[in-house]
Amino acid sequence: MTTSLAVSTVIFALRPSETSDLKTVWIPLVRRIRDPYVGKWALPGGPLLSEEDLASAAARNLGETTGLDPQYLEQLYAFGGLNRSPGERVVSIVYWALVRSEEAARASEGENVRWFAADSLPPLAFDHNLIVEYALWRLRNKMEYSRIAHAFVGETFTLAQLREVHEAVLGRALDPANFRRTIEASQSVVATEQRLSGTKYRPPRLYRYNDAIDLADQGPLGPAYRSSRAPSPQQITPNPHPQERSTRQ
């Protein structure tokens, strides 16, 4: 009995909720067209090719199946239980990814690809329900001490937009005043001189991500380290994105 190696990805995007007025977390799933669990929904994934590293495999697979280009990509966990897949032994190295709302909007949705609200999924193929649950837990956790929220917004953004991201992921409203101070204290954003116009009422200031301050989550595996060091594994935030702008002046 041979054991095969696969790479899958949990992809997160924020979309307007069907019930609440806040945005909520959604993930795209693909329908199984092969034998184990045919017809069931599953995480996008596939075998690891011999000449690509793990993060590349995740990014490629994600692009091929959903057409998406993620803003953030990080390894989640390696699942290797004996009975994950009936008949055959599969070890899955799972990544999780964040895509911006605009990117998510233009995602190919069809008969075999569909978005689901992350906290009310149907029964999925394999152990994918557990995997998504764990990924969601990581996302929510990391939102509190890291700055991944920026991966959900554009290059410039208002604090209200950034707050909306936090609220969507955390699932509860945040005090605008306190949110502002917390973010400003963290130095993770820098104010631009521009303001967002076209809104009703007072135009909010636009901010930009502060590259100078590094996140320092992931420790020695983070991008900051790896550049100044020897061999280095994979695990990278993918190539930046053609950016849209929602500002003038």
Residues that bind DNA (CB under 7 A): 158-160, 175-178, 180-182, 185, 195, 197, 199-205
Among positive and negative, which fits the CA dihedral 27, 33, 36, 38?
A: positive
Alpha carbon distance 13, 34 (integer Å): 27
Number of residues that bind its own copies (CB under 8 A): 39
Conformational region of residue 128, where left means phi above 0, alpha means psi within -120 to 50, and beta covers everything else: alpha
CA 98/CA 83 separation, integer angstroms: 29
For residue 220, the partner it binds in DNA, its own copies, none, with Cβ less than 5 to 8 A by kind, is its own copies
Interface with its own copies in residues 70-109 (CB under 8 A): 75, 77-84, 89, 91, 93
Q: How far apart are CA 91 and CA 146, in angstroms?
A: 29
In the list its own copies, DNA, none, the entry touching 122 (Cβ below 5 to 8 angstroms by class) is none
Q: Which does 160 bind (CB under 5 to 8 A by kind): its own copies, DNA, none?
A: DNA
Residue 6 makes contact with its own copies by CB under 8 A: no
- Give the footprint of its own copies on residues 170-209 (CB under 8 A): none
Q: Nearest CA to 160 among 99, 105, 194, 205?
A: 205
Report the C-alpha dihedral over residues 128, 48, 70, 27, rounded to 10 degrees. -10
* Binds 90: which of DNA, its own copies, none (CB < 5-8 Å by kind): none
Task: Work out which of 220, 224, 243, 244 binds its own copies, going by CB under 8 A.
Answer: 220
Residue 40 interacting partner from DNA, its own copies, none (CB closer than 5 to 8 Å by kind): none
- Give the C-alpha distances (Å, rounded to integers) separating 144 from 148, 149, 166, 179: 9, 9, 9, 12
Give me the residues that bind its own copies (CB under 8 A), please. Answer: 1-3, 5, 48, 50-54, 75, 77-84, 89, 91, 93, 127, 129-130, 133-134, 137-138, 141, 219-221, 229-234
